[in-house]
A and B are shown apart, each in its own frame.
Chain A
């Protein structure tokens, strides 16, 4: 502000110029004014230039400030984005961990297979546990060879076929070879993953069957113990009473003898069951003796006649007088045929009939075989029940019939016959009766 004070000198100098009579003073006054004007103009211009510069600087400063702000924002944005990326990475890791956990804890063996070349990409812990292989031993190998089914031939593989044929394979039976060379039956499922580049293969051992076997073992052990105790008492007293009656010459001795003999028979049957149990877990204990099938059938039919008579069921025999003997365990075979015939009477209608028929020994596939047919006029087996009749402890609906039984009869029968190299088949139509065909082997 003070810099403009010099302007006060202008009116003073102008006064000198106008009022002065002396030329020198006039010139000095005019010169002074000119100098002042000139200096003032210079000052003005220089100041305004400075101001411009300052304004420019200010602008520049503002611009720089803006730029800084923008960069700061950018940095923040970057940081935010980085945070987001990090977050999704963590999420991804977590998901991956979840999938990994699910994959490893899957209660089934699972292999992931590369689609075009059939190489195993990965294998879960359960598959390792079931097969005995470590993941590293299988990954990279062809899945047709890894855990191959024993009957598989390269190029003719039903697994590969399953993949080719359809996108989703049903549960099916398969066999795999474990690391120790043993075969294992599994329920297997093969499917193509979306995208078509990978195939999943899931399998589970047929545990249920194993549990059934364990259950049966326990059941047989328990039942044989439970039966032996009362049997010991009955047999013991019967024998004592029989001897007393006999020595006293009583008529009842004959009747007592029947109780003693039947007790022995029951004991024999129990032994057979125990032997059979041992046989099925080690193929030991079953006797190898000559068994006359005709006399065996006659005995079984004879034993069953009182029961059949109660129901007015007629048992028709179409048996030859003699036949070359089969070989096996008499008690076990008797148990098997008793069971089949017992069912034929049990499930028959009042006044129905049972027919027992044999074909003679015939040479089939280089082996002597004989078939025994047992047909009844009963209510038949419903189609939905048919697949289960040989299952352990399977009983048809209790409402349909209230017939006592253990539920092991037919499964045991089947196992006995198969242990003897034979087999059993059943044909039935509801309302038309049932025909059981037993095939026996004559062995040397």
Chain B
């Protein structure tokens, strides 16, 4: 049973590049381009990990993370914040709303893969 990863990023190409890389490695990847759609898909699919952009129109990444962590059925899903600002503030705010880790854009797909493997384990 492949591990399920959810990617939420308002930039479709970023979601696609992540999806491409992780699918190459055998993960099942779902993506959404806004927070609300993302939350719906998380409820349906119950992924093993959520990769979440911070600066999005509508619900921000922090708000999405807070909602995941507030829902008892979803709160155990680890969340990794994708931040573009490269600021300490982003990381701290992400961790304060319950994110497990963060990765700074632009990131290397290999570095992301490494992080995903650490969080959910390798697909066998």
Contact = CB atoms under 8 A, between A and B. Distances in A.
A240 B24 contact: yes
6 contacts: A228-B106, A232-B84, A236-B21, A237-B17, A271-B86, A274-B86
Contacts of A3: none
Contact of A229 (B18, B84, B87): B84
B85 A232 contact: no
B86 A236 contact: no
Interface string A222-262: 00110011111101110110000000000000000000000
Interface string B1-40: 0000000000101100110110010000000000000000
A279 to B, nearest CB: 14
A240 B55 contact: no
B70 to A, nearest CB: 28
B123 interface: no
Interface in B67-112: 84-87, 105-110
Given A224-B86, A225-B85, A271-B86, A233 B13 contact: yes
A235 B106 contact: yes
Contacts of B106: 228, 231-232, 235-236, 263, 267
- Give the interface size class of chain B: 10 to 19
Contacts of A228: 84, 86, 105-106
B86 A235 contact: no
A229 B108 contact: no
Nearest to A234: B106
Nearest to B16: A233
A221 interface: yes
A274 B86 CA distance: 8
A231 B86 CA distance: 14
Contacts of A270: 86
Contacts of B86: 224, 228, 270-271, 274
Scoring A224, A231, A232, A271 by chain B CB atoms within 10 A of each residue's CB, the highest score goes to: A232
A259 to B, nearest CB: 13
A232 B55 contact: no
Contacts of A230: 13
Nearest 9 Cβ contacts at the A-B interface: A236-B17, A232-B106, A233-B13, A231-B106, A232-B105, A228-B84, A228-B105, A235-B106, A225-B84
Scoring A225, A270, A274 by chain B CB atoms within 10 A of each residue's CB, the highest score goes to: A225
Interface of A is mostly: helix
B11 A239 contact: no
Contacts of B107: 232, 236
Contacts of B108: 235-236, 239
B14 A233 contact: yes
Given A221-B85, A274-B86, A240 B109 contact: yes
B17 A233 contact: yes
Contacts of A267: 106
Nearest to B21: A240
A168 B103 CA distance: 60
B14 A236 contact: yes
B16 to A, nearest CB: 8
Contacts of B85: 221, 224-225, 274
Contacts of B21: 236, 240
Nearest to B24: A240
A236 B84 contact: no
Contacts of A237: 17, 20
Contacts of A233: 11, 13-14, 17
B123 to A, nearest CB: 18
A239 B110 contact: yes
Nearest to B12: A233
A274 B107 CA distance: 16
Given A240-B20, A263-B106, 17 more contacts: A221-B85, A225-B55, A228-B84, A228-B105, A229-B11, A231-B106, A232-B11, A232-B17, A233-B11, A233-B13, A236-B17, A236-B18, A236-B107, A236-B108, A237-B20, A240-B17, A274-B87
Nearest to A230: B13
Scoring A230, A233, A270 by chain B CB atoms within 10 A of each residue's CB, the highest score goes to: A233
Contacts of A236: 14, 17-18, 21, 106-109
A232 B24 contact: no
Interface string A253-294: 000000000010001001100100000000000000000000
